[in-house]
Each structure stands twice: as structure tokens, then as C-alpha cells.
Amino acid sequence: MDHHKDPAAEILRATLFAARAHAGQVRKGAAAEPYVNHVIEVAAILAEAGAPQEAILAGLLHDTVEDTEATHADLVAAFGEEVAALVAEATDDKALPKETRKALQVSLAPKKSAAAKQLKLADKISNLRAIADSPPASWNHARRTEYVGWAGRVADGCKGVNPALDALFEETYRAAMAKLAAEAR
């Protein structure tokens, strides 16, 4: 990380990069929010929890390699090796079947770097909020419940680095489960 660069300027540069990369993409939820709202939310969660600058930058960029035309080399050139490596840690191998990728997220989480664990927790917090508040129209109750449970198993392997994030995940997880339980009654 180049500490001579102004942190706010770097965050805005990463925000613009993500907004351009994700232009035209929307979240799966009924609200059809711009996709970039998700990565800004992830970065905001990290910043508020006191996560390091490179994690905040990687939060903004975490879905660019997986879901846009941007490449690892683009990220190295624009933001340096450290941020690009963190994004790589947060990127699933899309060549693998979905169920394998989901299982790997659970088994690989404990082996990730401290910054990658914080990024993964913030990502899951944002996704659980979306599942509770604006779920995809095609997702039934069972699928949403299964997703929340899986996110909890991934999060278990990411805890122990940042107590503020651990607590926020716990709170978000409980709220999502409570909402699903209430809907089932």
C-alpha cells in the first residue's frame, strides 16, 4: 500500500473504478438497486468498523474481477499488488460449480488473511441485509433460510480479527433469522 497517497482520494478513485466497472448491473433484489451500492455498503461497513485502508479499497473492488471486464492486472496497475491480492482472495473460481464454490467459501475462510476475513464478513453482512430487506423475487423462504445459514458458516471462519465486525455480523444474522422465522409463522 502506498501510504503517500491521500486515503480519501484513493477511496474515491476505487469507488469511481467500481461504479464504472459495474455500470448497468443491478442487485438481484426486488428493489433492483445499482450493483455498486453493494460494494459501497461493504466498504462503509469496513470503514466504520476500523478496518485497514487496503481492506476498504478491496471492499470497493471485491466483485470487479468476478463480475465485470476488469482483470487482476488492471487492479494491480491501478491500486497495487496488496489491494489486488486481497480482491483475488475474495474472488470465487467461476469455473467451479456453484455448490463447490459455496463449500469452498466455508472451508477456505479460516485460512484467509486478516484483511480478507474482514472483507468477507462485511460482504456477508451486506448480503444478509439484502436477503432480509429486498430478497430476489424468485427466492422462496427455504432458499433464503439456506443462504443465511451458509453465510453464517462462512462467517464462523472469519471471526476473531475485528470484534466490531464480529458483533455486527452476529446482530445482522440474528435479525435475518428472526425475520425469516416471523415470515414462516
Write out the residues near Zn ion by the rule CB under 5 A: 63, 123
Residue showing cell 422462496: 140
What is the DSSP-derived secondary structure letter of residue 71?
Answer: -
> Residue 39 CB, nearest distance to Zn ion (Å)?
6
For the chain, report the end-to-end CA distance as a whole number of angstroms. 50
Residues that are catalytic: 66-67
**For Zn ion, the closer CB: 10 or 123:** 123
**For Zn ion, the closer CB: 89 or 123:** 123
Instruction: Determine the residue with CB nearest Zn ion.
Output: 123
> Residue 35 CB, nearest distance to Zn ion (Å)?
9
**For Zn ion, the closer CB: 16 or 178:** 16
Kindly report the backbone phi and psi dihedral angles of residue 29, in degrees, each rounded to the nearest multiple of 5, phi listed first.
Answer: -65, 165
> Residue 103 CB, nearest distance to Zn ion (Å)?
18
How big is the chain, counted in residues?
185
> Residue 124 CB, nearest distance to Zn ion (Å)?
9
What is the DSSP-derived secondary structure letter of residue 158?
Answer: T
Cell numbers for 33, please give them. 438497486
For residue 36, is it left (φ>0), alpha (ψ between -120 and 50) or beta? alpha
**For Zn ion, the closer CB: 66 or 81:** 66
C-alpha dihedral, 110 to 120 to 130 to 26, nearest 10°: -130
